[in-house]
Amino acid sequence: MRIFGLLLSCAAALAAQVTYERILNADKEPGNWLTYSRTYDSNHYTPLAGIRRENVKDLELKWVFQARSLEKFEMTPLIVDGVVYAVQMPNDIVALDAATGRKFWEYKHIPDSKTNVCCGRVNRGLAILGGTLYMGTIDGKLLAVDAKTGALVFSRQLVDPTGGYSLTVAPLVVKDKIILGAAGGEYGIRGRVMAIDPQTGEELWRFYTIPGPGEPGHETWSGDSWQRGGGSIWVTGSYDPELNLTYWGVGNPSPDWNGDVRLGDNLYTDSVIALDPDTGKLKWHFQFTPHDEWDWDAVQLPVLVDREWEGKPRKLMLWANRNGFFYVLDRATGEFLHGNNFVKVTWAKGLDERGRPIKIPEASPTREGTRVWPSVQGATNWYAPAYNEKTGLFYVSAWEYSSVYHKGDPQYTRGNRYVGSLPRGVWPNTMADVEEQQGHGAIRALSPETGEKEWEFKMTGVSESGLLVTGGDILFSGSMEGYFMALDAFNGEMLWSTNLGGRIAASPFAFEAGGKQMVAIASGNSMFVFGLRD
């Protein structure tokens, strides 16, 4: 028995080495979840098909991880050969047995208390390469931690929290580099994407999302506003190995709600940027919201899809943006192919032939306040959309809601908020104190060709939950009300739901434990794992 046990642990030791090739070929091991979106194309699709439309009613709770933190749980964990690696907010790492939820180890990091984050002390996940886990912290460090023991390998200060910088994004491994970016779009940062040496923590290249003097795009900023122009990175990008391009969505310009101090288009805020992962050089960009005055970060996952476009195979990028429009881009060149609104939109008449919004001037924030659809939380936000080749549908959590946008007087002081007032009506609430907070959400399935809605599942409240579509033809999602639910991926029919009691602000994920499919989601400050009844 003892010899067998030793052999088993040696096998586990070998298996736990996560190479770039394993991440690249993630579909060969669908029981694992090796990078933020499972695969580099960020489709949020799992081939696992043990849980299907006909048996989903037999789901039962297998285990719960209750975090010792009251902060909301925005993270997607990694699952590597029977071990779940999760972040306990704000910056502790835990290693759990995937079959039982029991803890192997915990690494505790207490961030500096003088750390400002706009929207909660959150983290969205980890990266793994070799036998080492990587996590950005809200006080600006990149931590490397041994996946076997939880021991710290190194800690490297990447950005300065006293300047409003923080790290909340799950890093992305591309080849021999760890790629991530800085958050702080409400604190007047100068945004950046960075590539880090996984052995030493040394910065290998940096791409500023706000171009400096002499760089293309710098002319889109008036005066010295570029120095504190925002352009944060807080949701993980995608990667196309054939094109050797990594795609990242860029956050809002600073200050958020007063554009007078930063005249111009404000590149590359609210854009998708396509970077060479070896050098950090920009290949192309597409800006969704030039001169944004509503805080519509383009932090959605770049969903990479290969399918026919006007009769020919084409490498596409599908993007339902926070600004209310759905876009189809050619991801080799950045060419705009199609766009239309997927929720009510009152700030633009539509998109021109190059995808640029035709703005309505009266929709800009004013001192008295201007009501605009979509709301400040956007038509959708950072949580994962999904795409399934079999149904051919693009799925998105949508908000039908508005805010009243006020313009204030932004004053920049280092490390403090730099926003220029704020909107009313941030969160819809079915039991709200004021009528203007009424709004509703829906899960919508869009046709990539037309952007038109094929079906929707309408909700009373809204959803900050991402989506997961499965080989069992199920679309899993959640709601702010606390429901975890399964819809038929073909027609949106409700198949199963359960009330987990806490706000869901995370994306569902799936893995295998003991050879059986599990599906999981975080709700409140806990993570719930479901499997079929034995």
Number of H helices, E strands in the chain: 2, 37
CB of 336 to another protein, least distance (A): 34
Q: What is the DSSP string of 231-286?
A: ----S--EEETTTTEEEEE---BSSTT-GGGS-S--TTTTEEEEE-TTT--EEEEE
Task: Round to whole Å and give the CA distance between 50 and 61.
Answer: 16
Binding mask 143-182 toward another protein (x if CB under 8 A, else -) reads: -------------------x--------------------
- Of the pair 257, 342, the CB lying nearest another protein is at 257
| Binders of another protein in range 213-272 (CB under 8 A) | 255
The dihedral sign for the CA sequence 231, 237, 238, 239:
positive
Binding mask 469-498 toward another protein (x if CB under 8 A, else -) reads: ----------x-x-x-------------x-
Closest-CA residue to 321 (of 336, 300, 340, 339): 300
**Of the listed pieces 215-223, 274-282, 430-438, 512-520, which binds another protein according to CB under 8 A?**
430-438
Q: What is the DSSP string of 474-501?
A: EEEEE-TTSEEEEEETTT--EEEEEE-S
- Of the pair 157, 279, the CB lying nearest another protein is at 157
Per CB under 8 A, 525 contacts another protein: no
Per CB under 8 A, 346 contacts another protein: no
Binding another protein by CB under 8 A: which of 33, 347, 418, 476? Answer: 418
**Of the listed pieces 85-93, 329-337, 348-356, 423-431, which binds another protein according to CB under 8 A?**
423-431
CA distances 125 to 84, 133, 374, 385, Å, are 12, 10, 28, 17
- Of the pair 310, 435, the CB lying nearest another protein is at 435
Binding another protein by CB under 8 A: which of 202, 352, 409, 452? Answer: 409
Task: Round to whole Å and give the CA distance between 233 and 264.
Answer: 21
Binding another protein by CB under 8 A: which of 410, 439, 466, 531? Answer: 410
Binding another protein by CB under 8 A: which of 25, 28, 414, 447? Answer: 414
- Of the pair 1, 431, the CB lying nearest another protein is at 431
Closest-CA residue to 185 (of 319, 68, 298): 298
CB of 36 to another protein, least distance (A): 25
Per CB under 8 A, 356 contacts another protein: no
122-137: b (≥16 Cβ within 10 Å) or e: bbbbbbbbeebbbbbb
- Of the pair 157, 162, the CB lying nearest another protein is at 162
Binding another protein by CB under 8 A: which of 35, 266, 421, 517? Answer: 421
> Letter for the amino acid at 221?
W
> Letter for the amino acid at 52?
R
Per CB under 8 A, 465 contacts another protein: no
- Of the pair 483, 528, the CB lying nearest another protein is at 483
Cis before 253? omega within 30: no
The secondary structure of residue 94, as a DSSP letter, is E
State both tokens at 141: 């460090």
CB of 440 to another protein, least distance (A): 9
**Of the listed pieces 25-33, 216-224, 280-288, 407-415, which binds another protein according to CB under 8 A?**
407-415
Binding another protein by CB under 8 A: which of 34, 170, 267, 419? Answer: 419
Binding another protein by CB under 8 A: which of 227, 460, 491, 493? Answer: 460
- Of the pair 280, 425, the CB lying nearest another protein is at 425
Task: Round to whole Å and give the CA distance between 296 and 374.
Answer: 9
State both tokens at 59: 């789901």
**Of the listed pieces 202-210, 298-306, 330-338, 426-434, which binds another protein according to CB under 8 A?**
426-434
CB of 405 to another protein, least distance (A): 12
Per CB under 8 A, 371 contacts another protein: no
The secondary structure of residue 162, as a DSSP letter, is G
CB of 432 to another protein, least distance (A): 6
Per CB under 8 A, 521 contacts another protein: no
Task: Round to whole Å and give the CA distance between 189 and 258.
Answer: 16
Per CB under 8 A, 461 contacts another protein: yes
Apex 222 CA angle, 421 and 334, nearest 5: 95
Per CB under 8 A, 368 contacts another protein: no
Cite the active site residues: 295
> Letter for the amino acid at 527?
M
| Binders of another protein in range 109-148 (CB under 8 A) | 113-118, 120-121
State both tokens at 342: 């997927």
CA distances 431 to 140, 427, 436, Å, are 38, 11, 11
**Of the listed pieces 199-207, 281-289, 296-304, 427-435, which binds another protein according to CB under 8 A?**
427-435
DSSP helix/strand/coil, 48: coil
Q: Are 327 and 352 in contact (CB under 8 A)?
A: no
- Of the pair 344, 458, the CB lying nearest another protein is at 458
End-to-end CA distance of the chain: 28
CB of 525 to another protein, least distance (A): 13
**Total residues at the site for another protein (CB under 8 A)?**
43
DSSP helix/strand/coil, 228: helix
Per CB under 8 A, 69 contacts another protein: no
State both tokens at 401: 């809601």
Could you tell me which residues come within 8 angstroms of residue 19 by beta carbon, excluding any fewer than 6 positions away?
A: 129, 130
Residues forming contacts to another protein in the complex (CB under 8 A) are 113-118, 120-121, 162, 255, 406, 408-411, 413-422, 424, 426, 429-435, 438, 458-461, 479, 481, 483, 497
